[in-house]
Amino acid sequence: MTYRVVQWSTGNVGRNAIAGIDARPDLELVGVWVSNPAKVGRDAGELAGLGRELGVAASGDADEVLALRPDCVVYTAMADVRITEALDDLCRILRSGANVVSSSPVFLQFPDGVVPPEMSDPVREAAREGGASIFVNGIDPGFANDTLPLALTGISERVDQVRCLEIMNYDTYDQGTVLFDIMGFGRPLDETPMLLTPGVLTMAWGSVVRQIAAGLGVELDEVTEWYTRLPAPESFDVSSGTIEKGTAAALRFEVRGVRDGESVIVLEHVTRLRDDLAPDWPQPTGQGGYRVEVRGEPNYTLDLQMVGADGDHNTAGLKSTAMRLVNAIPAVVEAEPGLVTALDLPLIAGRGLVGRGGR
């Protein structure tokens, strides 16, 4: 069976999603929605940087692309600074009858106990009205801290703590809005950026903690958050701009699921803009990636290293987020209508991708 797909936005993740859709023999790209008028009318292959045309022109008209009656929409539009608008987009798409795989808003990965019902219920209702399903995921929040840790606990005799880490240098991550405005890099340490406003870390990654708890049958007493930052020892440049001396250049945070006074499930991020910063913090295996630690009997440590074809780990991170969504399309289309999570879907594999290189 071939599934008709619309790509919604062509930013860092969306461009990779177009390439991924084109790579799968069971998916057909039928439409592309863009917010930038300068992209309207341009071919999807050009927007994705494929070096060839795909015969699908981008549109800025949402009604036009939804009228194509796609089986699924890959929604990768920025939601961090436009959550209400993103939720409205998702509801509109679902009511049209199209299924959705989305990279945002991230709390929809597993919203129960994370956000008030009034933030997630409209999405669930829209899915029921349209008879469609929605799956929100990626690499983080997503595969690196739902499927990966839960699979690892499947070979445990006893589990005392599950810790999921992202250990990454973001110097080549070319997204200034996220890096500076949301995460607060390059800003004075006495300023509190959006990400570190009380409650935001828990809203963004509490879904990770709650979903692992649900998968393990654990009742949490509370979810707490903690962070620390370090300044740049001197001024230096990254892909998104300049980090001035004394401004934030390294960030470490945890979102902790607590039971009986113990942190039993922990989501941790260790983010640097230079490899030599914070040498005493956890270090990556390879260039950077994800780590799962299961403490109990026995103890396990699992490292996931990422490197793109261009040699960059941040490129690999964007592509892995896109492909987590694209490869999930058949399972999501076939799922019962509603908001589905990694706990609801079968194993998602790269079916049909062997031997597809160079297409």
Could you tell me which residues come within 8 angstroms of residue 311 by beta carbon, excluding any fewer than 6 positions away? none
* pLDDT digits 0-9 by tens, 283-294: 999 888 999 999
* pLDDT digits 0-9 by tens, 320-336: 999 999 999 999 999 99
What's the mean pLDDT when you consider all of the chain?
95
* pLDDT digits 0-9 by tens, 6-61: 999 999 999 999 999 999 999 999 999 999 999 999 999 999 999 999 999 999 99
Q: Residue 66 in 3-state DSSP?
A: helix
* CA-angle at 135, arms to 171 and 257, nearest 5°: 65
- How far apart CA 239 and CA 144 sit, in angstroms, is 25
Is-contact 39 10, C-beta < 8 A?
yes
Question: What integer pLDDT is reported at residue 283 of this predicted model?
Answer: 96
Cα-to-chain-centroid distance, residue 257 = 20
Is-contact 102 75, C-beta < 8 A?
yes
- How far apart CA 321 and CA 45 sit, in angstroms, is 19
Q: Which helix (H) or strand (E) holds 63?
A: helix 62-66
Checking if the pLDDT of 166 tops 80, the result is: yes
pLDDT band at 151 (very low <50, low <70, confident <90, very high): very high
Could you tell me which residues come within 8 angstroms of residue 223 by beta carbon, excluding any fewer than 6 positions away? 202, 206, 209, 210, 255, 256, 257, 258
Q: How many CB atoms lie within 10 A of CB 38?
A: 9
pLDDT band at 356 (very low <50, low <70, confident <90, very high): low
DSSP-assigned letter for residue 145: G
DSSP-assigned letter for residue 217: T
Question: What integer pLDDT is reported at residue 312 of this predicted model?
Answer: 86
- How far apart CA 266 and CA 205 sit, in angstroms, is 10
Question: What integer pLDDT is reported at residue 237 of this predicted model?
Answer: 96
Question: What integer pLDDT is reported at residue 280 of this predicted model?
Answer: 97
Question: Residue 237 half-sphere exposure, CB side, CA atoms within 13 Å?
Answer: 2
More confident residue, 351 or 91: 91
Question: What integer pLDDT is reported at residue 230 of this predicted model?
Answer: 98
Of the candidates 192, 193, 199, 166, which has an alpha carbon nearest to the alpha carbon of residue 177?
Answer: 193
Beta strand residue intervals within 34-182, DSSP E: 58-59, 72-75, 99-102, 133-136, 158-169
| Structural domains of the chain, ranges and CATH numbers in brackets | 3-137+328-340 (3.40.50.720), 143-311 (no CATH)
Side-by-side strand order, sheet with 300-305 = 222-231, 248-259, 262-272, 158-169, 289-297, 300-305
* pLDDT digits 0-9 by tens, 77-98: 988 889 999 999 999 999 999 9
Checking if the pLDDT of 359 tops 80, the result is: no
Checking if the pLDDT of 228 tops 70, the result is: yes
* pLDDT digits 0-9 by tens, 180-213: 999 999 999 999 999 999 999 999 999 999 999 9
- CA terminus-to-terminus distance, the chain: 20
Is-contact 84 18, C-beta < 8 A?
no
Checking if the pLDDT of 168 tops 80, the result is: yes
Question: What integer pLDDT is reported at residue 3 of this predicted model?
Answer: 98
Question: What integer pLDDT is reported at residue 80 of this predicted model?
Answer: 80
Question: What integer pLDDT is reported at residue 358 of this predicted model?
Answer: 52
* pLDDT digits 0-9 by tens, 261-314: 999 999 999 999 999 999 999 999 988 899 999 999 999 999 999 998 888 888
